[in-house]
Amino acid sequence: MKKFIRSPGRSRIFAAFAACWIAANSGLTVAGECTTASGTQRVAVLELYTSEGCDSCPPADKWITRFPANNLRPDRVIPLAFHVDYWNQLGWTDRFSQAGFSERQRRHSNRRGVSFVVTPQLLLNGQDYRSWNSFDDLSGKVKAINESKPLAAIKVRSTLSGLILTTAVDVSVAEDAAQKDADVYFALYENNLTSQVEAGENRGQTLRHDFVVRKLIGPLPLDDNGKLSQAPRFEIMAAWKPRDVSLAVFVQNRRTGDVLQAVAAHCS
């Protein structure tokens, strides 16, 4: 019987191949660096406040999933789905929910002089948007925002290595009255998520989600010159899919809710 002897060179090749195969099939991403910068077009932000425990929310979740197919790409409008936690006590705990998102929604309501919150709720650049079943209406509103002058400039440099996303973000806001009221936010979000709901109003349903905010950093104030430079570092949790994770950076007027500029960065 012949004896197989594996040469050191072949071993190294095999090990390298195995490492690449494991990375590709486990969702890990080898180091990649990318730079994204805002341009002359103002990008809108549409905030969705939703919950898996609310039976009127799935249609709104499905609606924002269809954005790219309706020419509403992140270079025009960035949808961000904030899952609130106040539905959790009614039988189903939404695994994407965070108390901070519920508080953010309440602050938006207080700013607008409203004493209650509802789901689903959509805010387009801080303003209540109720015609969310019509892409024609939204496209027109987004087009108007895109054609308005951006009041901030954003540059994002990202490096994704394994499950660590390191960034360097530079923000500059135009010198005008809006500068003193501007805050910066970093929102890490994930696409292509599904949940099997086993209790509550959506019991028995399989729900699909996109643009789900996983982590939110902010509000971060600008310095006296209307600038901000930060280097936030994000840990991609093992249950997440790095290839489906993106980072949105946006500048929002805390008094009016208006978004001065936004950018979505995807590094893979």
Mean of pLDDT values over 220-236: 94
DSSP 3-state of 38: coil
Mean pLDDT of the region 164-178: 87
268 pLDDT tier (thresholds 50, 70, 90): low
User: Nearest Cα to 49, choosing from 86, 77, 74?
Assistant: 86
Q: Which two tokens stand for residue 250?
A: 């946006």
Highest-scoring range by mean pLDDT, 2-16, 92-106, 160-174: 92-106
Q: Is 207 exposed, middle or buried (0-12, 13-18, 19+ CB in 10 A)?
A: middle
Q: Return the pLDDT at 16.
A: 39
What is the percentage of the chain residues whose pLDDT exceeds 90? 76
Summarised one tens digit per residue, pLDDT across range 42-52 is: 999 999 999 99
